[in-house]
Amino acid sequence: MPDRFIYFDNINTTFPDMEVIASIERALHSQLGNPSAHIHSAGIGAARLLDNSKANVAILIGAQPESIIFTSGATEANNLAISGFMGANPDHQLGVLSIEHFSIINQARKMKLGGRKVLFVDVDQTGMADLEQLEKFVKSDPTLVSIAYANPEIGTIQPVEQIGRICRDHGATYHCDATVAASTQSIDVGKLGIDLLTLSGHNMYGPTGIGALFIGKGVNLHSLFEGGNQEHGIRPGTENVVGAVGLGKACELAKANLENWSGRLSALSSRLWQGLSETVPFIHLTGHPDRRLPGHVSFWVEHIEGESLLLLLNMKGVMAASGSACSSNLKGEDEEDLVASHVLSAVGVPTDICAGSLALTLGKYNNIEEVEYVINVMPGIVEKLLAMSPSYSDYMRKKE
């Protein structure tokens, strides 16, 4: 085992805050009944905790508590937002960004196969949405638009307010997956024109297995499940009270610390990219150079696989994430060939010299010493991998 433990994979999961853990422990040790059992004090106490948690979630995004429902996480919330809305609104077409999470992309593909009109909105080489293409599409028919606040693989932050304005001007409904943005970006669903919004606990120093969906006034959704009348009948089943408490506390902490976390992470990631760009050959930033998530540094190195970088970094005690085909669980049509990242393909990363990207994503527990360590070890790792790379050997021979 490596001596160090440097966790630079906060885009996939953050470690829970101690105050979140304490709130969960208090809830676990409380005598809580079923929140639907309003006839006795144990049920009333559980329902009160749910209401308080919804209030904290709502405050974070500028919403009302009654517009919040709890889910098992972002994937369920995204499925409910897309399939639930499209099921309740059969006259609507669907527009999604081409670099969305697969919980959205795969729904869009299925709907297109089922005969619904679907647009996969193009992005430029920095990952920014083609808003002219989007506006032309939403003018044609009633539309549900799903474009995330930011992309987890390349860090690009979309012009959310402009997207919301386009949707409002043409009567479209806007769903925004804010999973990776909610702990560093100020969100007001009213000002931004967002009608549906996804959140996830484990991406903002909360627990796993809990998420939330904001549902704006007048937005109709079909439930994906059969059951009782919990969560206004949209998400039936006994609520995860303890998880909701943790998510509520995480949202409360994010609201209080948003500016501090954002500024500190921006400074750390700026130093990280500066150091890597000056010392690592053949390195290319992915995503927008300026409009990107604080703490997010994503790149690819010519002639080197993202998975190989991950493995050697892990041997040095550094944990990161790769957007490479080798580290995904996606299969080709023959179930043997791994397919390339749809995000890298969409932003024009050349497949002949790029075998994957790397994302180093920092969180509130990281520090400058860890950043400097990664800057120091990365050049040696890249040099070692280049020496073993057939692609690099071919490149050097052609240069000669």
Convert the pLDDT of each residue in 45-82 to its tens digit: 999 999 999 999 999 999 999 999 999 999 999 999 99
* pLDDT score for 79: 97
CATH topology of domain 65-236: Aspartate Aminotransferase; domain 2 (3.40.640)
Burial of 397 (0-12, 13-18, 19+ CB in 10 A): exposed
Cα–Cα distance, 362 to 295 (Å, whole number): 5
Helix then strand count (H, E) for the chain reads 13, 13
* pLDDT score for 340: 61
Whether pLDDT at 194 is above 90: yes
The two beta strands, 318-319 and 143-146, are unpaired
pLDDT, one tens digit per residue, over 273-283 is 999 999 999 99
**pLDDT confidence of 94, banded at 50, 70, 90?**
very high
* pLDDT score for 229: 85
**pLDDT confidence of 12, banded at 50, 70, 90?**
very high
Whether pLDDT at 347 is above 60: yes
* pLDDT score for 322: 84
Contact 291, 157 (CB under 8 A): yes
DSSP-derived letter for residue 29 is T
Mean pLDDT, all residues of the chain: 93
Q: What percent of the chain lies above the pLDDT cut of 90? A: 83
* pLDDT score for 115: 96
* pLDDT score for 355: 72
Q: For 131-142, what is the mean pLDDT? A: 97
Q: For 171-186, what is the mean pLDDT? A: 98
Active site residue 326: yes
Q: For 333-355, what is the mean pLDDT? A: 69
Q: For 112-131, what is the mean pLDDT? A: 97
Task: Sort residue 329 into left (φ over 0), alpha (ψ -120 to 50) or beta.
Answer: alpha
CATH class of the 6-13+258-399 domain in this structure? alpha beta
Q: For 174-195, what is the mean pLDDT? A: 98
Distances (CA, A) of 238 to 13, 53, 93, 220: 25, 16, 33, 22
Whether pLDDT at 331 is above 60: no
Question: Domain map of the chain by residue range?
Answer: 6-13+258-399, 65-236
SS3 of residue 33 by DSSP: coil
* pLDDT score for 323: 64
Whether pLDDT at 43 is above 60: yes
Query: Same topology for domains 6-13+258-399 and 65-236, yes or no?
Result: no
Angle between helices 131-140 and 160-169 (to 10 degrees): 20
Distances (CA, A) of 71 to 153, 243, 255, 340: 23, 10, 21, 30
Please identify which of the residues 176, 251, 326, 354 carries the catalytic annotation: 326
Whether pLDDT at 330 is above 60: no
* pLDDT score for 325: 40
